[in-house]
């Protein structure tokens, strides 16, 4: 039996103010999007902002539903909008922020498993990695150079 070791390298910034200017701006747009979340059931608001290679920024927030599974995460709201409106445009960077009505969320909030699978589809489609930055409401910001880095042993079209 062989051991398989999978490495995931992430980068941590001490706070929003330590980010490069363009990412700080993208994260601020994610924060604005977060404030528009419709999250009356979880009281957990998430915002996402995508920078496209045409310079446009697409934002999304989580949209919940009384029938819980019918709701959608912020990341997928944004990514599916970008994929449908700008179908030939690459997604370059993504900023994510989450806040809870229960108190200040300082833990960086990564995309959930379903969102990782949804986002990686676009990395494969565009044949270019998407830089991901995620944070809570305040505190550290984590950077991943690609989505695939957050989803080892990815399932993608090469397996079909
Ligand atoms: N949520 C997101 O929007 N993105 C994630 O990656 C994790 C979870 C939302 C879904 C739901 O509205 C709330 O956060 C609590 O799970």
pLDDT averaged per 10 residues, the chain (length 160)? 95 97 98 98 98 98 98 98 97 98 94 98 97 98 97 93
CA separation for the pair 142, 144 (Å, rounded) = 7
Q: Is the dihedral of CA 91, 143, 95, 26 positive or negative?
A: negative
Residue 4 within any structural domain of the chain: no
Q: Compute the distance from residue 158 Cα to the ligand 1 centre, in Å.
A: 28
pLDDT of residue 111: 98
Specify the pLDDT at position 88. Answer: 95
Give the DSSP per-residue string, 42-79: T-EEEEEEEEETTS-EEEEE-B--SSGGG-B-HHHHHH
Kindly list the catalytic residues. 75
Q: What is the pLDDT of residue 92?
A: 98
Instruction: Verify whether ligand 1 is closer than 6 Å to residue 39 (CB atom).
Output: yes
In this structure, is residue 3 part of a structural domain? no
Give the pLDDT score at 54.
97
**Span from the CA of 79 to the centroid of ligand 1 (angstroms):** 14
Residue 76 lies in a domain: yes
Q: What is the reported pLDDT for 69?
A: 97
Does 68 fall in a domain?
A: yes
150 lines ligand 1 (CB under 6 A): no
Q: What's the domain count of the chain?
A: 1
Report if residue 1 sits inside a domain.
no
Ligand 1 centroid–CA 3 distance in Å is 34
Stated pTM of the model: 0.96
Helix (H) or strand (E) holding 123: helix 113-126
In a domain, 56, yes or no: yes
Is 159 a member of any domain?
no
pLDDT at site 78: 98
Whether 5 is covered by a domain: the verdict is no
pLDDT at 15: 96
Q: How many helices (H) and strands (E) does the chain have?
A: 3, 6
Give residue 117's domain range: 10-152
For residue 127, what is the domain's CATH number?
3.40.140.10
What pLDDT does residue 74 have? 98
């Amino acid at each position: 039996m062989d051991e398989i070791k999978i490495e995931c390298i992430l980068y941590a910034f001490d706070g929003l103010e330590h980010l490069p200017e363009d990412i700080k701006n993208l994260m601020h747009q994610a924060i604005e999007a977060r404030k528009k979340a419709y999250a009356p059931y979880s009281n957990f608001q998430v915002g996402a902002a995508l920078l496209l290679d045409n310079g446009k920024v697409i934002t999304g927030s989580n949209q919940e539903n009384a029938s819980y599974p019918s709701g959608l995460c912020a990341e997928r709201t944004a990514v599916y909008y970008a994929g449908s409106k700008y179908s030939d445009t690459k997604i370059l960077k993504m900023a994510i922020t989450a806040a809870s009505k229960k108190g200040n969320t300082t833990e960086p909030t990564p995309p959930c498993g379903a969102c990782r699978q949804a986002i990686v589809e676009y990395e494969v489609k565009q044949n270019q990695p998407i830089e991901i930055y995620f944070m809570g409401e305040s505190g550290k910001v984590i950077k991943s150079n690609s989505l695939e880095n957050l989803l080892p042993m990815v399932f993608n079209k090469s397996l079909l």
